[in-house]
Amino acid sequence: MHTPHSLGRRGFLRGVGAAAALATGGSTLAACGSGKAATVNKAGSAAQVQLPTYTPLSNGPTPDLPGTDAGVPAGFYNYPASPTAAFASPPLSGGKFSAMTPLFTAPPPSRGSNPAWQAVEKKLGASVDITMVVGDDFDTKLSTLIAGGGLPDLIQYDGLGGVPTISNLPQFLDSQIADLTELIGGDKIKAYPHLAAIPKVFWEQCTVAGRLYFLPIPRGISAGAGLYRQDLFAAAGVNSYKDIKNSDDFLTLLKELTNPGKDRYALATNAGGNYYGLPIFEQIFGVPNKWRVDGAGKLTADIETDEFKAALEFMVKVAKAGCYYPGSQGWTKAKMEDAFQSGKAALIYDGLPALSTSVWATAQKIDPNARLMPFVPFGANGGAGVAYQDNVVFAGTMLKKADPAKLAEVLKIADFLAAPFGTEEYLLKTYGVEGADYTLDANHNPVQTDQGKNDSNVTWKYVAAPQLVTYNPGVNALTDAAHQAYSELVPMALPDPTATLYSPTFGKQGVSLYKAVTDTLTQVIGGQSSMSSFDSAVKTWRSNGGDQMRSEFEQAYANAPKS
């Protein structure tokens, strides 16, 4: 389904709200770019752009579990014993800069009372005012700033590879955002070695209308197909996801895992973008990632495929068998995670990065045998399942238009923040100042103090970041499992053929059109509607704009040179 992946992070209503807030600003933007509207409105693709040349760093630490250029994050059991300095001296010499990012934690203390913030700026050689906006409200504030003026130097854009969260995106980029193609395309990126060490797969997400506009904030390519309780699976006779051969096996297992008497169910879901754990079933049944493209360049939407229907029919069976925790479709995500950690649900759809040392520790306190593991999809009819490239980047960072000298300085900030795991700079921007914010344990792993937990909430990692690593200090089993999952998921992860293509209709109507389909979908799974109502919802989607999107994407696909 289009929505869980592309909209998961912001959610439907927020997208709709942002679109509404933008209604006033939209016309201004269109006017700004009107001179070039004809060119910027054209669909384009990453293949047309000369992307930055991937140049791995030669002096990085050796991981315990190696990563790959295709995007598997390297795994580290512990933080390297003697972190190296990525910069001998501050890359900048003075200056004031600004940035804007979302915030998913409590707000950090402001600069004056935050030694970590001060230390980062000292090492950077410049001051950076970060406007941190509560995650859900980010798009509202951004659209207000776009219309009202006053954009900062570095701005996060969270619509990459999904529904654009800024209306008239190409016009906006053209009129207000620096075109990075000439600045860092090809070998020019080598002036910023840490940005150059980000593999090509991440930069491919960063283009619009044939130009490079964003710096990637890399993630692990695939968010996985949910998380499972290996201990509960084992008790039901299945040691690992690898022992599940087909959908019949799976249904038997789900029924086996469900035991209402013990307050235990195979699955739990939550309100919002989970749709009864739909992504798990889509990947098992081999549904394409948003669109499937055939040899002739014809596109088929995921919801139009037989695979999708098979997945949906299977989910209806699972729901009828009582395998979902009753009422969990109204839960918050936190409540679903609680149910999983306490063993009330054995399988949930949650992103792979949700597994962490602290989550593991909470579950182990409740049950010392608890083993929380990433689930890798099998094939419904035997063989392999598919995975999705649904978490390639967290977001992209845009640079406000400025003269080349200023842009070079702003890029140096990004390069500084992209200092990789194992460096002193990474330790500083992630954990703060040693002593006040963290102490090192016997294995050189930072352990945050209470002050550190607050100080380190400054959102440097959303301004710019290096390639992700898998690092769960103290729980090697989890690092092993996550690395293993990434190693299996990344090669089987299907790209979304439209991820770097632009369709004006998708930008304008993508959200509202899919809402009708997902509403029907949840009713079908919940047993309030029949399969035929899903078929008619798909028909409506087609006639209201789905076919239009298809033809726009197809045209963009045809125009894009194939690599």
Partner 1 sequence: MDIRPSRTGRPPWMERPSRLGRGGKILAISLISVVVIYPFLAVVATSLSSESDIAASGGLVIWPSHPTFDAYRYVFSGGIVSQALWISFLVTVVGTALSMAATIGMAYGLSRSGVVGGRFFLATALFTMLFTPGVIPMFLTVQKLGMYNTLASLVVPSLVSAFNLVVLRSFFMGLPAELLDAARIDGLGDWRILTRVVLPLSKAVLAVVALFYAVSYWNAFFSALLYLNDTSKWPLALVLRGLVIGGEATSAANEGVVPQQAVQMAVVVVSVVPIAAIYPFLQRYFTKGVLTGAVKG
Q: Using CB under 8 A, which residues numbered 16 to 45 contact partner 1?
A: 21, 24-25
Site membership for partner 1, residue 103 (CB under 8 A): yes
Q: Using CB under 8 A, which residues numbered 424 to 453 contact partner 1?
A: 450-451, 453
| Distance, CA of 284 to CA of 262 (rounded, Å) | 28
Closer residue to partner 1 (CB): 394 or 460: 394
Q: How many residues bind partner 1 (CB under 8 A)?
A: 71
With contact defined as beta carbons under 8 Å apart, do 244 and 380 qualify? no
Would you tell me the crossing angle of helices 247-257 and 306-320 to the nearest 10 degrees? 30
Site membership for partner 1, residue 528 (CB under 8 A): no
Interface with partner 1 (CB under 8 A), residue from 38, 106, 296, 442 = 106
| Distance, CA of 226 to CA of 206 (rounded, Å) | 26
Interface with partner 1 (CB under 8 A), residue from 123, 290, 344, 429 = 344
CA 223, chain centre distance (Å): 7
What Å distances lie between residue 308 and 10, 282, 292, CA to CA?
24, 6, 12
| Distance, CA of 86 to CA of 544 (rounded, Å) | 53
- Per-residue contact track with partner 1, 496 to 515, x per CB under 8 A? --------------------
Region binding partner 1 by CB under 8 A among candidate stretches 60-68, 305-313, 332-340, 486-494: 332-340
Q: Give kind and range of the element (H or E) at residue 494.
A: strand 493-494
With contact defined as beta carbons under 8 Å apart, do 429 and 463 qualify? no
With contact defined as beta carbons under 8 Å apart, do 163 and 501 qualify? no
Closer residue to partner 1 (CB): 375 or 394: 394
Bridge partners of residue 215, in order along the sequence: 397
Interface with partner 1 (CB under 8 A), residue from 91, 159, 161, 273 = 273
Q: Using CB under 8 A, which residues numbered 196 to 215 contact partner 1?
A: none
Interface with partner 1 (CB under 8 A), residue from 176, 342, 476, 540 = 342
Site membership for partner 1, residue 485 (CB under 8 A): no
CB of 404 to partner 1, least distance (A): 27
Site membership for partner 1, residue 272 (CB under 8 A): yes
Site membership for partner 1, residue 216 (CB under 8 A): no
CB of 532 to partner 1, least distance (A): 29
Closer residue to partner 1 (CB): 196 or 225: 225
Interface with partner 1 (CB under 8 A), residue from 27, 39, 110, 528 = 110
Q: Using CB under 8 A, which residues numbered 116 to 155 contact partner 1?
A: 129, 131-137, 140-141, 144, 147-150
Using DSSP's 3-state secondary structure scheme, residue 197 falls into: coil
CB of 531 to partner 1, least distance (A): 26
Site membership for partner 1, residue 540 (CB under 8 A): no
Pick from 222, 224, 218: which is nearest to 394 by CA?
218
CA dihedral 306, 312, 318, 320 (to 10 degrees): -120
Interface with partner 1 (CB under 8 A), residue from 279, 288, 377, 497 = 279
> Which burial class, exposed, middle or buried, applies to 32 when counting CB atoms under 10 A from its CB (0-12, 13-18, 19+)?
middle
CB of 448 to partner 1, least distance (A): 11
What are the structure tokens assigned to 351, written together?
């992103």
What Å distances lie between residue 364 and 231, 472, 482, CA to CA?
11, 15, 18
Using DSSP's 3-state secondary structure scheme, residue 73 falls into: coil
Q: Using CB under 8 A, which residues numbered 345 to 404 contact partner 1?
A: 350-354, 356, 362-363, 365-366, 390-391, 394
